[in-house]
Amino acid sequence: MNDDRNAVIKILFTVVLPICLAISVLGWVLSAANETASVAQAELGPRALLDKYSWFKEAAAQCEAKLASIKVLRSRKDQLDTMYKGMPRQSWVRQDLEQYNLWSSEVAGVTASYNDLAATYNAKMVEVHWKFTNRGDLPAGASEPLPREFKPYMEQ
């Protein structure tokens, strides 16, 4: 009876336990592979790449629009500076001084907004999973590559 018990224990340790361990390891490996495939599909699938490309197109357009707005606002300020050249600011017409201050404030706000968007754009552009933004790897229908970066941290 003792020999039978020892034989059963020996079979458990030599056959059943390794099979159970192998099944557990296989289950873990398959689970990890499934999760990897899910993440790859979510990050690199056609829909995800199109969404990312669209974000870049919109962000690039916003950066360009902000740069144009800054240029227009600075131009208006420069016109007043030219008009009052050599005059101390306290001698300016009150409405012109208020307008100048308003435009200065707007330039500061648009510049800060541009800096924030440009920094985000540049940070995302250097991430590995944005490879499609490189020349030669454009999505179907895209004719030109996106800018590699926007100059961040403009000052007034």
Question: Using CB atoms within 10 A of its CB, is residue 66 exposed (0-12), middle (13-18) or buried (19+)?
Answer: buried
92-109 burial, b at 16+ Cβ within 10 Å, e below that, comes to beeeeeeebeebeebbee
Each residue's pLDDT, cut to its tens digit, for the chain (156 residues) gives 677 777 777 777 787 778 888 888 888 877 877 787 777 777 777 888 788 888 888 999 999 999 999 999 999 999 999 999 999 988 999 999 999 999 999 999 999 999 999 999 888 887 756 655 554 555 555 666 677 667 766 665
Question: Using CB atoms within 10 A of its CB, is residue 119 exposed (0-12), middle (13-18) or buried (19+)?
Answer: middle
As given in the structure block, the two tokens for residue 109 are 């706000």
- pTM of the complete model: 0.64
